Structure 1
């Protein structure tokens, strides 16, 4: 089965298309991709849905390596709401 593993930053990304055996897990895809030493990965997702290392993959899945949030979304919204409107 074919699986794509994607690691993205704001202005660039790295991607690896892998051929894995049926029944492969997210951990298998990470090991095969070579993206294991990124250091900044906060979690994983399959097509935007949070997933764990034991998640079974299917043909055509896109595994996304998620970066940590740079700002708390609730706090950022509060700051925007407090700014005076023109």
Structure 2
């Protein structure tokens, strides 16, 4: 890593609590390393950085331990999904289809 420092932010949000932590890290720091260095786990003890999905400015990162940050990047730590979006869409589409079928019979 370099002696040059860059500014980045690390953020995580729950429905009732959000946190953005600004910090300076060495140039060459990875997404994962910045998340660790931010100390965000102290505020969200349930957060497991080793398994958490992460991204930079809304774009998911495939490997947070290898993705190197640039100055002013915002690391986002994502919560696990409660429901599979594909399943939710299927259920919604089936409901709409059933409602249309019921309307045709009246």
Q: TM-score, normalised by structure 2?
A: 0.70
| Counterpart selection for 1:66 from 78, 84, 88 | 78
* Number of residue equivalences: 86
Q: Paired residue for 1:28, among 29, 33, 36?
A: 33
Flag the structure with higher helix content. 2
Runs of 5+ consecutive residues of structure 1 not aligned to the other structure:
none
Q: How does 1:35-54 map to 2 (within 5 A)?
A: 35-36=40-41, 37=45, 38-39=47-48, 42-51=52-61, 52-54=64-66
- How far off its partner does 1:35 sit? 2.3
Alignment RMSD: 2.1
The alignment status of 1:14 with 2:27, answered yes or no, reads no
Max Rg structure: 2
Residue 24 and residue 7 in structure 1: after superposition, are their counterparts in 2 closer, same or farther (change >3 A)? same
Alignment match, 2:93:
81
Q: State the structure with bigger RCO (CA 8 A, min sep 6), 1 or 2.
A: 1
TM-score, structure 1 as length reference: 0.84
